[in-house]
Chains A and B, each alone.
Chain A
Amino acid sequence: MTGIRVALAGNPNVGKTTLFNALTGSRQHVGNWPGVTVEKKTGRINRSGHAIEVIDLPGTYSLTACSADEVVARDYILEERPDVVVQVVDATNLERNLYLTTQIAELGVPVVIALNMADAAEAGGCAIDRERLSALLAIPVVRTVGIRGEGLDDLLDAAVREAETPPHHEHTVGYRNDVEAMIASLVGVLEADKDLAERYPLRWLAARLLEGDENALAKVRESPVSPRVQALLSTIDPDECEAAMADRRYDVIAAVLPQVRTAGARGMNVSEMVDRVVTDRYLGIPIFLALMWGTFELTFAVAAPFVALIEAGLARLSAAVAGSIGPAWLASLVGDGIIGGVGSVLVFVPNIFILFLILSFLEDTGYLARAAFIMDRLMYAIGLPGKAFIPMLIGFGCNVPGIMAARTIEGERDRLITILVNPFISCSARLPVYILFAGAFFGAAAGVVVFLLYVLGIAAAIGSAKLFRHTILPGESSPFIMEMPPYRLPTAGTSLLHTWSRGVMYVRKAGTIILAGALVLWCLASFPFGVEYGSSASLAGALGHLLEPLVAPLGFDWKIAVALLFGFVAKEVVVGSLGVLYGAGEEGDALSTAFLADPGLSAATALALMVFVLLYTPCLATIATIRKETGSWKWAGFSVAYGLVLAWLLALIVGRIAPSFIGGA
């Protein structure tokens, strides 16, 4: 069996992921490209005697070396030499997609075009003559419809055939005469360096040198032919060459298009009409707010029955455990520790999944890109690009995927700021804390209090972003360019898949970090042996007393100190810990009664506590994610420290001024 490596390339949003999933099914491996936070996905297929490895390259518009994505894609093709590159092309947007084709072809690798979204193009009345296109480009063209899995066999056959046909004639764009002459002289010089000639396609290298590409210049700097290359390059203007070459590429494409495409009657574009409304200067923001409000309403309404179901299930499980496990300590470990701890996270799973489902739906329709446009001006005032609001939005569900979504932001500083302020966006794990305390102390006004907490979180994020922008991460926010994909009706499959992959991340967090945290918590509350679970005499109690002086100015006692400490694990654990410490279990009513009976807890203290929980140190999973996404403990540590200080200060202020509003402490 021979092995063939197939690299999938293409513009963003052309259906590359869909095609990759359809090709490789569940046999995928997801990791990171070395050194950068760009996701690397590979999958294997066995097909008629060939072991095919499919590598999903990042989606890019071109193969210059301007962004991490482009460098990853380009270096992979150059250095790893896949046997064939399959470029996924959006049939409804040939012109721009073929620009990338011209660049890939220049790299001297066999190319196959997957003419994807063929259904959408045909529905628009646009017919593409694939044979003619293939003949003109000297590249096989296969029709595919990713969402229906059409054309996959033909695509694989074509890829295998290309990979196995030995030498390839060049099928690159011919540039203007003077440029071609320069390329020829450069190639002549470069040929003298056998090493270079072996590693890189020289025509490609020469063209990049003419463009003044830093990355290419670095490749020849060490070469013995470098002086002669420099001498040649000194006679030209790289900017002029670059413009001439880009121009020529589009000329070639413009010459090809009319020969292969019969455009359908172009009626009034639906996307354009919708855009005119949703991005309207006056209507845009109200529509956006209404959609977001609807999203959250729907999230909680639809999830409610599932949440109730999971709660009931957990309660039965606890009861069963308590009744059947022999030694009392083991029953307590399983019941209080594991089921209590992990269960407190599991009850949010329906909320998270439904929020992700709605957001995936909005993303797949193309609306989120418009929302980013609408938000751009607002975000600009904070010093962040419009795209930065998407991580924030996801942060309302859970900060972990929120922070991961910051990957799409190009500027490194913009990305860092977006990551660092994300923990202030009140994730759904904090909601139970608010519900418990606001419910117990504010009665009918509880809704308003919870709403204000969310607003405070947003304000803290905005304020911190401005602060970071002016202090540790100065600079302009990077300019905003974003493709507005045409509106599409998402298929259930794609949205569910997106939801699934994000949701699973959350569940995995519950399974690992929070389980570990819950076990530590249980040990602290149970040792030394013989003490009453979670009592003042336990290790947890001792820790609480140790921390009490630190939080005393805020009006918190040792029990709250312990609960906050355990809130590091996950913020919803605060509720569970208080349940344990007050000996009331997690039943909301019993705990509320216990709170009201505690003379140390006033409405003002409760408010200060909620503010503290909102802002203080992100949970373990979030810290781990910050560490992973920023690549350094420094930023994770900074986030912890900054959150603590901010929470302490604001809780102090709120605790002090609240009594004058809510009538006495």
Chain B
Amino acid sequence: MGAVCPLALLAAGTEATIADVRAGKGMRLRLAGLGLCPDARVRVQCADRGSLIVSVGDARYALSRGIAMKILVKEAA
């Protein structure tokens, strides 16, 4: 099990598990509605200097660097 780091730092193609979402309440609830909450498995599909497209389950989202920095993940072993 890898160390915890912000989602924004992952390279394209990496899979990881969300460890924590360090954002305000509103943003946290909103992310939970999208399936981006602790223990969710995400896959970085495309990374461009911090902006990402990640897939969670069957959904795909574009996230700006600001948010991707607040989502902490553990890289999959």
A376, B51: Cβ atoms under 8 Å?
A: yes
Shortest CB distance A465–B (Å) = 17
Query: Contacts A372-B62, A479-B64, A480-B67 hold; do A212 and B25 have CB atoms under 8 A apart?
Result: yes
B25, A239: Cβ atoms under 8 Å?
A: yes
Contact among A62, A100, A250, A271 for B60, CB-based, below 8 A: A271
Shortest CB distance B11–A (Å) = 12
Q: How far is the CA of A640 from the CA of B7 in the complex (A)?
A: 44
A92, B33: Cβ atoms under 8 Å?
A: no
B34, A96: Cβ atoms under 8 Å?
A: yes
Q: How far is the CA of A543 from the CA of B69 in the complex (A)?
A: 59
Shortest CB distance B53–A (Å) = 6
Query: Contacts A95-B57, A96-B59 hold; do A272 and B33 have CB atoms under 8 A apart?
Result: no
Chain A residue nearest to B28 in the complex (CB): A242
B51, A373: Cβ atoms under 8 Å?
A: yes
Chain B hits for A386, CB < 8 A = 62, 64
Chain A residue nearest to B68 in the complex (CB): A479
B25, A242: Cβ atoms under 8 Å?
A: yes
Chain B, range 41-63, C-beta contacts under 8 Å to A: 45-46, 48-49, 51, 53, 55-63
Shortest CB distance A209–B (Å) = 14
A373, B25: Cβ atoms under 8 Å?
A: no
On chain B, the number of residues with a Cβ less than 8 Å from chain A's Cβ atoms is 33
- In the assembled complex, A61 has its CB within 8 A of some CB on chain B: yes
- In the assembled complex, A176 has its CB within 8 A of some CB on chain B: no
- In the assembled complex, A495 has its CB within 8 A of some CB on chain B: no
B51, A377: Cβ atoms under 8 Å?
A: yes
B37, A95: Cβ atoms under 8 Å?
A: no
Q: How far is the CA of A19 from the CA of B25 in the complex (A)?
A: 33
B27, A483: Cβ atoms under 8 Å?
A: no
Size range of the chain A interface in the assembly: 35 or more
Dominant SS among interface residues on chain B = mixed
**In the complex, number of A-B residue pairs with CB atoms less than 8 Å apart:** 120
Chain A hits for B67, CB < 8 A = 479-481
Chain A, range 41-93, C-beta contacts under 8 Å to B: 60-62, 64, 66-67, 92-93
B64, A380: Cβ atoms under 8 Å?
A: yes
Query: Contacts A66-B26, A480-B67 hold; do A272 and B37 have CB atoms under 8 A apart?
Result: no
Chain A residue nearest to B37 in the complex (CB): A246
- In the assembled complex, A309 has its CB within 8 A of some CB on chain B: no
- In the assembled complex, B40 has its CB within 8 A of some CB on chain A: yes
Query: Contacts A239-B25, A479-B67, A480-B62 hold; do A247 and B34 have CB atoms under 8 A apart?
Result: no
B58, A95: Cβ atoms under 8 Å?
A: yes
Chain A positions near chain B (C-beta within 8 angstroms): 60-62, 64, 66-67, 92-96, 99-100, 211-212, 239, 242-243, 246-247, 250, 271-272, 275-276, 279, 281, 284, 369-370, 372-373, 376-377, 380, 385-386, 476, 479-486
24 contacts between A and B (CB under 8 A): A62-B30, A64-B26, A64-B30, A66-B27, A66-B30, A95-B57, A95-B59, A96-B33, A99-B35, A242-B32, A246-B32, A246-B37, A275-B45, A275-B60, A279-B48, A281-B48, A373-B62, A376-B51, A480-B67, A481-B34, A481-B63, A481-B64, A483-B59, A484-B62
Given contacts A242-B29, A284-B48, A483-B34, 11 further A-B contacts (CB under 8 A): A66-B30, A67-B30, A95-B58, A100-B33, A250-B39, A370-B62, A377-B48, A377-B49, A386-B64, A479-B63, A483-B60
